[in-house]
Chains A and B, each alone.
Chain A
Amino acid sequence: MTKMNAQLRWRKFVSNFMLTMTGVCALISVSVLFFILGYLVYHGGASINWDFFTKLPAPVGESGGGMANAILGSAKLLLLATLIGVPIGFFGAVYLAEFSGSTVAFVVRYAADLLNGVPSIVIGIFAYSVAVHPFGHFSTYAGGFALGVMMIPITLRSTEEFLLGVPRSLREGAMALGASKWKTIATVIVPAAYRGILTAILLAFARVAGETAPLLFTALGNRYWSNGFNEPTASLPVMVYNYAISPFEDWHRQAWAAGLVLLGLILVINIIARAVLARGIAVPRS
């Protein structure tokens, strides 16, 4: 009897111990986020000032300067990426959700999932082969193209899911009123799913906003303003990379600051995206 009790006590102890350990694992994993934020604020916070947003990088060896060109460069790259990634992702998703047969849908979904898994550095090589090599020079176009390609599968797959989530009764209602299919899509289905679609686009945007590897040999970098879209351009992520691996103390300080700005932007977009979604999913009305 006592032996039984000892064994039971041991099993209970093991149970409690292991369950506590899983809690510790969760705590460690989540706390990483706060470590990252804390270090970035601690090291980068003091370096974020007016100069950072308004000045060009200082010449090598001089301290001071800012990253105005990189901020504008990132904005231009992301604009191009959105112009490429969102239409293809969105209309592709409409096709998948509303028009396609199962075979075509399978092929497109498969391609999108494949594209989503391609390492970003390989997307960089691809963009180099089709948008840099033939033209003989690095450009904002090439960088935007690389980021745009990365946005496609993320936008496509989540948009499709939100479109399919629109209740059947809404479709049937529209069609019963005599609306054609595309009219149903444009005036009923897409508006019903617009929060989800907006979330999908925002998340795709946030995902590529921090991408560095595809820009290394497409947009390259630039220590000055980049005119138009046909020249190489600086961008925040590449700036963070170059400054962090440089031997200069002052550049390290600015790398922290740029990292903080970049991460702040990405986290804010992520939170907004989730808030948009949480505020109202298309609920079937009874």
Chain B
Amino acid sequence: MATTSTMHPSAGPVVGSRSFFSRLRDGDEVARLITFLFAATVVLITLLIVFELWQGSVLPRHKFGFNFFRTSTWDPNVDQFGALPFIFGTLVTSAVALLIAVPLGIGAAIFLAELAPARLSDALEFFIDLLAAVPSVIYGVLGIFIVVPVMRDVIQPALKEIFGFLPIFRGPAFGIGLLTAGLVLSIMVIPYIISVSREVLLSVPRDQREAALALGATRWESTWKVVVPFARTGIMGSIFLALARALGETMAVTMVIGNTPQIAASLFSPGDSIASVIANQFTEATGDVYTQSLIELGLVLFLLTFILNGLARLLIVFTSQRGASHA
């Protein structure tokens, strides 16, 4: 036994049992240390982000406390900052985005996973991946020059005509505003819903489908009543992922939302979101309380996306494992 530690590596049956010194001589310990330092950097940077956001928002947290989230006056002239209009705008635009993107995205994912032949499905997935790669600012450009005029001249008047009795579809049609921002956001998050939902649906075991069909279900019934419920948690995960993206999305929203901090019942009215107000005002912010209030908004955004991403990953992993253990 005593000789084990002095044995030459190649003589040992298990490579991992080589002594520390022989590994040091081979350079393994050095390589381990160097790569460890790089890996540790990742953790350090993440911690540093949390630290900077927390440290950078001390003043407004002490000055306004919880009122920061409950009041809606945002007035740099008197150093009064309430984030409610931005929280409202972020939540409303994200909700609109999900209302449009979820049915469309899940429908498309069902087609890709259940109906389309593998080659077609892969080809379409390739385009969906490219769509996910289109930068936010490009969506913004199309939003300003294409979507806004169409909303102003066609869609918003039509909505007013048909659903004008609802307060959310009243008021002048500017083109810009919460509804348009939500629509552009929905287009941006659809690729995420499709990609993840498709993966999850594909992981549903084959026998689930066959059992349903054997019992006399139509193809749609087997899909909707058996496959989709099986993949439900994973699909929820893809929606949370999309929501996290929508909440933090900056450029495209900034370009079409109207940048007016107000809370209005109508979806046609201009608004503002957390990310947009940071993008618009950060460089111009004078005075510590002003800048730090914007940083506190960044902290809020960070925490929201942190929670949603965590939940999403949990749900997606849960479903894939269920599919794997079943198969």
Contact = CB atoms under 8 A, between A and B. Distances in A.
Interface in A79-98: 87-88, 90-92, 94-96, 98
A241 B306 contact: no
Contacts of B39: 91-92, 95-96, 100, 104, 108
Given A25-B107, A212-B137, A121 B275 contact: yes
Interface stretch (A27-35, A59-67, A192-200): A27-35
Contacts of B251: 212-213, 237, 241
Contacts of B248: 118-122
A24 B137 CA distance: 27
A26 B31 contact: no
A118 B38 contact: no
Nearest to B131: A33
Which of A26, A90, A274: most chain B CB closer than 10 A?
A: A26
B42 A88 contact: yes
A39 B142 contact: yes
Contact of A29 (B115, B194, B298): B194
Interface string A27-47: 011101101100110010000
A149 interface: yes
Interface in B26-59: 26-28, 30-32, 34-36, 38-43, 45-49, 52-53, 56
A175 B15 CA distance: 8
B295 to A, nearest CB: 6
B151 interface: no
A271 to B, nearest CB: 8
A217 B107 contact: no
B267 interface: no
Interface in A223-271: 237, 240-241, 244-245, 252, 255-256, 259, 262-263, 266-267, 270-271
Contacts of B30: 182
A130 B52 contact: yes
Contacts of A11: 218, 221
Interface stretch (B77-85, B163-171, B202-210, B276-284): B276-284
A114 B46 contact: yes
Contact of A91 (B35, B53, B302): B35
A262 B135 CA distance: 9
Contacts of A23: 111, 115
Interface string A1-29: 00000000001101110110111111011
A40 B139 CA distance: 11
A178 B10 CA distance: 6
A36 B220 contact: no
B313 interface: yes
A40 B140 CA distance: 12
B128 A29 contact: yes
Given A178-B10, A245-B255, A119 B194 contact: no
Given A22-B108, A28-B104, A39-B142, A156 B137 contact: no
Ordered nearest first, which 7 A-B pairs have the shortest CB separation?
A210-B135, A119-B248, A25-B107, A180-B26, A95-B35, A15-B220, A91-B38
16 contacts: A19-B115, A22-B115, A23-B111, A26-B108, A33-B131, A96-B39, A117-B309, A119-B302, A119-B305, A122-B53, A129-B52, A152-B45, A182-B30, A183-B26, A240-B141, A270-B129
Given A28-B104, A104-B36, A108-B43, 8 more contacts: A26-B124, A33-B131, A95-B38, A99-B36, A125-B295, A245-B255, A259-B138, A262-B135
